[in-house]
Amino acid sequence: MEEQIYAIENQESFKLKDIFECGQCFRWNQNIDGTYTGIIKNGILNVEKVQNRIVFHGFLDDDIKKIVNKYFDLERNYTNIKLELSNKDIYLKQSIDYGSGIRILNQDLWETIISFIISANNNIPRIKNIIENISKKYGNLVIWKEKSYYMFPKIEQLSKASVQELRQLGLGFRDKRVFETTQIIANKEINLEKLYLENDTLNLRERLLKLPGVGSKVADCILLFSDLKRFDVFPIDVWVRRVMNELYIKNENENKVSKKQIMDVAYEKFGDLEGLAQQYLFYWKREN
């Protein structure tokens, strides 16, 4: 671990609140001074924005520039993507204007899988709490500037956890799902490294769906928010169902609308960028 600093200027699409509070990540918190600090795979990262300058302070196990470029997906041109999506639909344009500073992160696959299994029928404060509890009990302690941080446990660390211990950490009925999925990944029944070799999104999705606790919604979140990074998916939760029905489908009872119907409308409207469209719509609807 090494303390490092890195700064970029005039980065398009980069607002701290939009990135860290749009629901894609659970281990970033705002500090009193307005900066955000997060615990990622490679260590601790602090981000502050001063006008057009974004400054990253890190305590990391690898080169900060390399980590930041990958994690924040800085190679991708969001200006073009937002323009393309804005032209497709007037409602989408409005939500893009609202969440214009969003970037979709490349989060560690293993951590993303477990985090979104925990997210099932749960609320964000509690999800964050549970992940923090798991990290405190099974992850490594890192001390930086006299403050303690707990890394998300590695696969073999979490594989030591029993169902009962997980239940004590507040997982509720998700304890068994996290336990079983961890065992399957730990003994390489499903090898996460090999998932990166799969090019076809649907095939990849099928393989994720084999994990206990991973259904269609969680699988799509993993594909979108992890470093598998697919935009041709459309996670449907209560908020997205709500906004898609209100804007496009207009069924009297939103619960009568099938997932397939929503997915078909989404692909028809937004095409291969539907995952990104989903995130703008989700963020806009949840905050308004």
Partner DNA sequence: ACCCAGGGTCGTC
Partner DNA sequence: GACGACCCTGGG
The residues that touch DNA, with contacts defined as CB under 7 A, are: 22-24, 119-127, 167, 170-174, 177, 211-219, 221, 225, 235, 237-240, 256, 258, 278-279, 282, 286
Residue 279 Cβ, how far from DNA at the closest point, in Å? 6
Name 8's bridge partners.
54
Length of the chain equals: 288
CB 78 within 8 A of CB 12: yes
Minimum Å gap between C-beta 48 and DNA is 23
Tell me how far, at minimum, the Cβ of 173 lies from DNA, in Å.
3
Shortest Cβ distance from residue 64 to DNA (Å)? 26
DSSP 6-52: EEEES-SS--HHHHHSSSS-SSEEE-TTS-EEEEETTEEEEEEEETT
In the block, tokens 């990849």 appear at 204
Q: What is the DSSP letter of 189?
A: S
Cα separation, 149 vs 254, whole angstroms:
42
* Closer Cβ to DNA, 43 or 213, answer by number: 213
| Token pair recorded at residue 221 | 């979140």
Q: Which is nearer to DNA, 57 or 174 (CB)?
A: 174
Nearer to DNA, 67 or 214 (CB): 214
Q: Residue 111 or 237: which CB sits closer to DNA? A: 237
Residue among 156, 160, 213 nearest 185 (CA): 156
CA distance linking residue 157 with residue 140, whole number of Å: 9
**Helix/strand/coil for 87:** helix
If you search the block for the tokens 């649907």, which residue do you land on?
202
The nearer residue to DNA, 64 or 104, going by C-beta atoms, is 104
**Nearest-approach distance from CB 242 to DNA, in angstroms:** 8
Is the Cβ of residue 30 or residue 52 nearer to DNA in the bound state? 30
Shortest distance, position 12 Cβ to DNA, whole Å: 21
